[in-house]
């Protein structure tokens, strides 16, 4: 059997899959905020508990923010910045005293899961998007993730917001050190901050969308701006990769308005005939489970 671990900014989720893909056990715990070492121990604790539940040792795949640098062996580009500059793979193997652990970017795990037997199944090119604490992406071509020479394949969140309006320059500060990154506009915390600035009230991203659905003016305006920024950003992806399917994941993928409004808006930005945009925008078939399932599938049957 295989364990998949999804190491997120707010939660660590683990799942055990049998060789036929059936779920045998699942566990979710909060991600520690205080230290890198506490995060290692929390991940190790989830693995130990899952193995205790199924009564055997399992192969382990870990999906994590950022990437393990091919040059240094250290994590880079993680929005959970305490992971950056750390040898995550080496350290976790040492904590667990085992070597049967594989690691990959969390968005790549999500994309592989949805391309294999999810919303992108059967499509030659799938782009998987994470819209959550951060903004990530993964490219899958003919069933295989595109990692790249720098291990940053699909990292659209740290390109600049395309076609910025005058009031969008220079853009919010991003943790990567630049201003105006897609992530600084489209992450869950960014969307919530935009609503706070406009209304003076705090709401979760999905609650903003629910308020917009009832016709609440400020929420509707914030959601429309979000949809336009997402449409511009994904249009750049379409112009570069021309994927057959784009699958949204992360907490903001639960906003239903995105799936109608964004494809309507991106017609103005994609380099093609407005009435012939074949790319489909879809919600994840496996929902919150896609990342953790993809991590488990880092080990073949």
Supply the CATH number for residue 43's domain: 3.30.420.40
- Per-residue pLDDT of 51-76, as tens digits, reads 999 999 999 999 999 999 999 999 99
Q: For residues 144 and 180, state if they share a domain.
A: yes
Name which of 41-55, 256-270, 285-299 the model is least confident about: 285-299
Residue 58: inside a domain: yes
Q: For residues 39 and 98, state if they share a domain.
A: yes
Name which of 101-105, 184-188, 295-299 the model is least confident about: 295-299
Question: What is the C-alpha separation between 24 and 1, in angstroms, rounded?
Answer: 9
For the chain, list the strands marked E by DSSP. Answer: 2-7, 11-17, 23-30, 59-64, 67-68, 75-76, 101-105, 125-131, 135-141, 144-145, 245-249, 280-282
Q: For residues 132 and 271, state if they share a domain.
A: yes
> What pLDDT, on the 0 to 100 scale, is given for residue 235?
98
Q: For residues 149 and 176, state if they share a domain.
A: yes
Task: Count how many domains the chain has.
Answer: 2
User: Is 90 exceeded by the pLDDT of residue 88?
Assistant: yes
Q: For residues 100 and 157, state if they share a domain.
A: no
Question: What is the C-alpha separation between 280 and 298, in angstroms, rounded?
Answer: 26
Q: For residues 76 and 201, state if they share a domain.
A: no
What is the distance, to the nearest Å, from the Cα of residue 93 to the centroid of all Cα atoms in its chain? 24
Q: For residues 240 and 191, state if they share a domain.
A: yes
Q: For residues 41 and 18, state if they share a domain.
A: yes
Taking residues 106-116, what's their average pLDDT?
92
User: Is 80 exceeded by the pLDDT of residue 301?
Assistant: no
Q: Containing domain of residue 56, as a range?
A: 2-108+289-296
Residue 156: inside a domain: yes
Higher-scoring residue by pLDDT: 242, 78: 242
Q: For residues 66 and 164, state if they share a domain.
A: no
């Amino acid at each position: 059997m295989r364990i998949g671990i999804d190491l997120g900014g707010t939660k660590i989720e683990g799942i055990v899959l049998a060789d036929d893909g059936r779920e045998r056990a699942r566990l979710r715990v909060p991600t520690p905020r205080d230290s890198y070492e506490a995060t290692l121990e929390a991940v190790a604790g989830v693995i130990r508990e899952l193995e205790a539940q199924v009564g055997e040792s399992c192969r382990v795949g870990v999906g994590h923010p950022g990437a393990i640098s091919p040059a240094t062996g250290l994590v880079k580009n993680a929005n959970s910045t305490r992971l950056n500059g750390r040898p995550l793979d080496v350290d976790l193997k040492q904590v667990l005293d085992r070597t049967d652990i594989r690691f990959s970017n969390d968005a790549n795990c999500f994309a592989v899961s949805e391309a294999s037997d999810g919303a992108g199944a059967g499509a030659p090119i799938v782009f998987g998007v994470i819209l959550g604490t951060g903004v990530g992406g993964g490219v899958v071509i003919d069933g295989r993730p595109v990692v790249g020479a720098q291990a940053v394949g699909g990292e659209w969140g740290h390109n600049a917001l395309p076609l910025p309006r005058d009031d969008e320059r220079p853009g919010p500060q991003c943790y990567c050190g630049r201003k105006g990154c897609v992530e600084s506009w489209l992450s869950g915390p960014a969307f919530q901050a935009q609503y706070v600035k406009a209304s003076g009230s705090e709401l979760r991203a999905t609650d903003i969308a629910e308020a917009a659905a009832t016709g609440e003016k400020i929420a509707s305006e914030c959601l429309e701006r979000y949809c336009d920024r997402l449409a511009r950003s994904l249009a750049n992806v379409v112009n570069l990769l021309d994927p057959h399917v784009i699958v949204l994941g992360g907490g903001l993928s639960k906003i239903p308005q995105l799936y109608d409004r964004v494809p309507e808006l991106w017609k103005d930005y994609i380099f093609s005939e407005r009435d012939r945009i074949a790319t489909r925008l879809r919600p994840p078939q496996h929902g919150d489970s896609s990342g953790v399932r993809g991590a488990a599938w880092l080990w073949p049957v």
